[in-house]
Structure 1
Amino acid sequence: MSDRLVLDRFIPYRLSVASNSVSDAIARTYEALFGLTIPEWRLVAVVAEEKGITQQAIGQRTRMDKVTVSRAAIALVGRGLMARDANPDDRRSHLLVLTDAGSDLYAAVAPKALELERRLFAPFDTEEVAAFTAMLRRIEAAARVLEEDGAGTRR
């Protein structure tokens, strides 16, 4: 690590660029094949796994902001892919659930998502992908600690 910031060697920047590149490539596929934005797909996937989840919980799990989650939910409900059910634990919020059409869409998109992942990581061997995944989880944990500590705002 150097004392001089060179953006192209700054790991947080490289992570962001790589993430955006992957997201952009996937977004074009989801939009062309299924008419979904990345936030909409993330909501569909999370709701499919959770079988009923609040928008706040989706935001926490995906790290998407409230406005992005809300807009995606409104769009998906409007398209009949998702429904809002009463939340028995909190009357102030609703649980998002997939409709039958949303479940059918998930069943069509999920295999495509896995195929895109396979194609993206095909040049890497299994051990590299496992190590990369483990490192990403450690980076996320370290970032949470930074966030809790005020992200270096202390002097």
Structure 2
Amino acid sequence: MGDTDTSPDFVDGVRVEWARTYPHVDTSPIEVIGRVNRISSLALHQLDRALAPSGVTRVEFEILCALARADRPLRASEVTAVTMTSGASTTKHADRLTRIGLLERLPFERDGRVVLLQLTPAGRDLVDAELPSRIERDRRLLDGLDEHERQALADLLRRVSRNAEASGS
């Protein structure tokens, strides 16, 4: 099995502070959700720093990644749905990505009012260059967990993710 270090972390400190301030409130959900949020914040901060030299923001990179994963050009509304940004934000970022040559807009054959978004070769090159580094940073976050522990964690988080998605609809 992996490392069983149970020394206190940032979230443990937060729970102690809440217990002192609100002793009657059960803050046990922070054990999980607080850590998920903290890990996400730290990972996204690392991604921001890594992307800085490329000149694209994290949201712009997520848009490029959504298009890179797709097997076809996507409508802006489809990009909005997978990146969980607002429609206005998607449009703003798509405009900038088009101006800097990473994205192109294509007419939709069935409806001239609809525009499709597609990576340019330069956009594909950027994703090809940055994605492996992002995956490696994520892999390092899982250091100390064996394959069984990683799978168990993924399974548990999948259940929490489904709960979040169900409560958000």
User: TM above 0.5, one fold?
Assistant: yes
> Which residue of 58, 62, 67 maps to 1:47?
67
If you compute each CA radius of gyration, which structure gives the higher value, 1 or 2? 2
Residues paired across the two proteins, number: 146
Contact 2:43/2:138 (CA < 8 Å) preserved in 1?
no
Aligned partner of 2:7 in structure 1 is none
Consecutive unaligned residues in structure 1, runs of 5 or more: 149-155
Cα 1:146–1:8 shift into 2, 3 Å: closer
**Match of 1:27, as an amino acid?**
D
Among 58, 75, 78, which residue is 1:57 paired with? 78
Residue aligning to 1:152: none
Measure, in 2, the Cα distance between the counterparts of 1:140 and 1:65: 20
- The answer for the alignment partner of 2:148 in structure 1 is 127
Is the CA contact (8 Å cut-off) linking 1:39 and 1:68 kept in structure 2? no
Q: 1:3 to 1:37 in 2, by over 3 A?
A: same
Q: Distance in 1 between matches of 2:62 and 2:100?
A: 16
Q: Deviations over 1:2-41 (max 9, x none)?
A: 9715498264444323211211111111113x22211111
What does residue 142 of structure 1 align with? 163
Partners of 1:103 and 1:60 lie apart in 2 by: 21
Q: Secondary structure at the match of 1:83?
A: strand
Q: Percent identity over the alignment?
A: 25
Of stretches 86-95 and 139-148 in structure 1, the one that deviates more from structure 2 is 86-95
In the alignment, the residues of structure 2 paired with residue 11 and residue 23 of structure 1 have an alpha-carbon distance, to the nearest angstrom, of: 18
Moved runs in structure 1, 4+ residues, more than 4 A? none
Change (3 A) 1:66 1:135: farther
- Bigger relative contact order, structure 1 or 2, given CA contacts below 8 A and separation 6+? 2
